[in-house]
Amino acid sequence: MSQPLPLPQPLALAIAKDRYLTPQYAFADTTHIPLLSPPRYGQDITSGCRARAPQGQFVGDDIADLKARMLKLLKIFANGDRTGMAKRLFDGLTAMTHRLATVALASVIVGLLLTPLAYIGIGALGGFAIAFAAISMPLLLLCSLFLFHRYLRRPAASAHPRRWPQVAEAAAWLLVVFFLAIVSGFTLLTTAERFGLFCTLALVASLVALPWMALRPSALVARVAQWPAAAVAAGALMSVGVLAGGAVVYLVTPSRFL
């Protein structure tokens, strides 16, 4: 029986993977390798033995072992391709979930900004003095227009964001929240009913804002997309859940005051 012939040390190994298990070059010596002709996925172009696969399996010590190990190696790469496909599907599902959560959270933010206008639309200012409406309406419109301009414009990269728009945005939100706290008590409702009415109006306003946030690029969606994915998902789930739950309870519970 003839002894197996030893093989020289490998010049190159064509097998390598990136994060998606896509074959990449991993040559030890590219002197005799035509770079314009990339190898097929899992193809062995070594001229020797003891070349290691990405998972640490030996390719072979001699010609006979090289063939047997090469079949096993190709099976490993076939499984790796399925793993890569699963990872790509998982990454695609994660990206889609993050996109849905981003749009939902941005819609809730715009919906909260539209809620004061909804209160005005149902006649909430009729329960207050004319002086309150004369003072609050110009301030509310000014703050709302400023926030709408910042949120609904197309996203633009700014290398040096200025400080004063952020301060003005926070001040505008304080005025909007203060107006909501005052105007939500325009009728003789219990605290639970006031909260339920607020949830109903905010949910309707968020649904109105949803197509705009989903179909048109906006600075608000771009900003929310940069937040941590877990925080965006939790914020969207919590805000939508609270608004929907409060609205359902308000709509199915009979009012205590006529």
As a whole number of angstroms, the distance between CA 171 and CA 224 comes to 20
Tokens (6 digits) for 209? 């804002």
User: What are phi and psi for residue 159, nearest 5 degrees?
Assistant: -70, -35
Highest mean pLDDT among 11-15, 69-73, 131-135, 185-189: 131-135
Integer Cα distance of 196 and 248 in angstroms: 8
**What six digits make up the tokens of 4?**
């197996």
Name the percent of the chain in helix, strand, coil, to the closest 5. Answer: 65, 5, 35
What would the pLDDT profile of 179-202 be if each residue is shown by its tens digit?
998 888 777 778 888 899 999 999
pLDDT digits (tens, 9 = 90+) for 98-108: 999 999 999 99
Q: What angle do CA 250, 252, 257 make, to 5 degrees?
A: 65
Residue 28: pLDDT band by 50, 70, 90 thresholds? very low
The larger pLDDT score, comparing residue 5 to residue 97, is at 97
Q: Determine contact, residues 17/23, Cβ cutoff 8 Å.
A: yes
CB atoms within 10 A of CB 72: 14
Alpha-carbon distance 240 to 6, whole Å? 68
Q: Domain limits of the chain?
A: 94-252
Write down the pLDDT at residue 21.
42
Is this structure's pTM higher than 0.75? no
